[in-house]
A and B are shown apart, each in its own frame.
Chain A
Amino acid sequence: MTTLYPKFETSPTSQHPDSSSPFICTEQLSLYYGPQPAFEQVNLAIPAGQITSLVGPSGCGKSSFLTCLNRLTDLISNCRVTGRIRLGNLDVLDAKTDTTALRRRVGMILQKPNPFPLSIWRNLAFPLREHGVRDRAQIDEIVETALQDVGLWDEVKDRLKAPAQSLSGGQQQRLCIARALALQPEALLMDEPCSALDPISSGIVEDLIAGLRSRYTILVVTHNLAQARRIADNVALFWLQQNSGRLIETGSVQEIFEAPKSSITAAYINGVRG
């Protein structure tokens, strides 16, 4: 099998992704749970090195959309995905695509912080080991870098062997982000990463996400329009039409918030404001 990703680097050369070209592109992407569509015909280009925010009402298929991009949909038995997803020149939905490699390139953060019931250190080290990093010194360095990237290093460096569950909710979520970062992905998919956190932790995680801009391509689902406005470069609005999710409008934050083209977008923005 060809390796799709570079070897692990101990100190990643901060390669700034080329933001002129999209990192991921979907073409006529639709997803069905059994006969029921979750979303249909989504054409979305996600610019590299930027933060793209996915907004829309509940049930319009935002989470489902994220799970297509790293083929987590493979785990759901009655789920069918049609259309195309291109990541560089990789055809994501092709059955021959190496999902392990894909998922290392495209990390994911779930809504509820869910560190594994292991020590803080092992939460990061265990996935690394499974991806073939055996050298203890290298693991230690990658763990430290990742924890520093999420601003957790100073808080936990003295208790790396403590159970991850002993951390606060916000710390746990940052640990989960660090766990994804440790695999040195190119993109991060985040499904409402702040919504299960208290306001202060939420703010910390939000700043963290903003700080990762330009080093990673980030796609973040949020119900918090103010947050989208604060951190995102681009916004994509999903909406339920005829019982299935549709992509209504995409654009830069300015375009969406100040000059929305679609009346739905305008109503959504204003509705939440007023």
Chain B
Amino acid sequence: MAKPLQRSSPSRSPWLDRLSAFGVWSVALIITAIFAWIMGDILWRGAGQISWDFLTLPPQNAGRDGGIGPILVSTGLILVVCLSVSLPLGLGTAVFLSEFTAADNGFGRLVRRSLDILSGVPSIVFGLFGYTFFAQTLGLGFSILSGGLTLACMVLPILIRSAEEGFRAVPADYRLSAASLGLSRTATLWHLLLPAAVPGIVVGLVLGIGRAIAETAALIFTSGYVDRMPTSLLDSGRALSVHIFDLSMNVPGGDAPAYGSALVLVVLLILLNGAANWIGRRLSFQSGFHWR
């Protein structure tokens, strides 16, 4: 008699199988439920706040009235500063780690270890560092620049490690073939490795943006509280997350605009992730962009 093919590895009792399946499913379900609950809560309580005025007007009465216009601008500027510093630095370091140092190279190991530790450092520590270094030592004061640079330090480890993984995932044969065709390292890097590593870079970017845009502690110390429209990068500017924190902790009756702001933050995060993925697809090999 032909036995039916067993799908899973043979186990001692079907009971154990069922129990573990049940466990796995319930964990997944709980996580989905928690996520849905949070989203539902924010949507339920925040959606009513959203209007054109809310998105464009400056806050009034400590944020209870008015909108979040200047806060959105500050958030955007902080993010731009953060990414325009961390992206080139991160890619450069990732290229150095994956293409110019062997996996077992001592210095490379040291850099990698430091990055792993850095990525686990609490953001409040980054905040203190940013405050003493960027705001005080470099004299940038409480400013969007200080905040963006501090965030860049926070995001760099994540960005570097994911980008490095991206580069390492490129088949070694590409490098060998490229070299055997007499291609320079620069040409190989630009035309082959970088596009092939885009998926990894995008992952790092998405994680980095997520960390940056959600950051509160590090920004309170560096970009500050001021909720006026910034006129330069040296102005203090309140980030969205700081605004939410302030509304819910320090402003009695600030819950409604806090939820409105939270909704905006979540939507922004989703949009930015979408954009990163879209740009990634355009730049990677799958797009045909390189095929011409």
Contact check, B290 vs A179: say whether CB atoms are below 8 A apart.
no
Chain A residues, CB < 8 A from B181: 103-104, 107, 127, 130, 179-180, 183
Q: How far is the CA of A161 from the CA of B288 in the complex (A)?
A: 9
The residue from A77, A122, A127, A162 contacting B182, defined by CB atoms under 8 A apart: A127
Chain B interface, DSSP helix/strand/loop, else mixed: helix
Contact check, B291 vs A163: say whether CB atoms are below 8 A apart.
yes
Contact check, B292 vs A122: say whether CB atoms are below 8 A apart.
yes
Contact code string B273-292 (vs A, CB < 8 Å = 1, else 0)? 00000000000010010111
> Does any Cβ of B come within 8 Å of A241's Cβ?
no
Contact code string A103-131 (vs B, CB < 8 Å = 1, else 0)? 11001101010101111001000110011
| A119-B180 CB under 8 A given contacts A114-B171, A130-B187 | no
Chain B residues, CB < 8 A from A118: 285, 290-291
| Chain A interfacial residues counted at CB < 8 A | 32
Closest to A66 in B: B180
Q: How far is the CA of A160 from the CA of B84 in the complex (A)?
A: 37
The residue from A108, A112, A116, A161 contacting B192, defined by CB atoms under 8 A apart: A116
- B287 → A minimal CB distance (Å): 11
The residue from B171, B179, B187, B290 contacting A122, defined by CB atoms under 8 A apart: B290
Q: How far is the CA of A274 from the CA of B184 in the complex (A)?
A: 47
Closest to B171 in A: A114
Chain A residues, CB < 8 A from B288: 163
Contact check, A126 vs B177: say whether CB atoms are below 8 A apart.
no
| Chain B interfacial residues counted at CB < 8 A | 25
> Does any Cβ of B come within 8 Å of A70's Cβ?
yes
Closest to A70 in B: B180
Closest to A76 in B: B102
The residue from B191, B196, B285 contacting A126, defined by CB atoms under 8 A apart: B191
Closest to A104 in B: B182
| A122-B177 CB under 8 A given contacts A101-B182, A130-B187 | no
> Does any Cβ of A come within 8 Å of B174's Cβ?
yes
> Does any Cβ of A come within 8 Å of B176's Cβ?
yes
Contact check, B183 vs A117: say whether CB atoms are below 8 A apart.
no
- B166 → A minimal CB distance (Å): 14
Contact check, B177 vs A116: say whether CB atoms are below 8 A apart.
yes
Binding site for A on B (CB under 8 A): 102, 105, 171, 173-184, 187, 191-192, 195-196, 285, 288, 290-292
12 more contacts with CB within 8 A, not counting A72-B176, A107-B180, A176-B177, are: A75-B175, A100-B184, A104-B182, A108-B180, A110-B177, A117-B195, A117-B196, A122-B290, A126-B191, A127-B183, A130-B183, A161-B292
Nearest 8 pairs of A and B residues by beta carbon: A103-B182, A108-B180, A119-B291, A117-B285, A114-B173, A100-B182, A127-B181, A77-B102
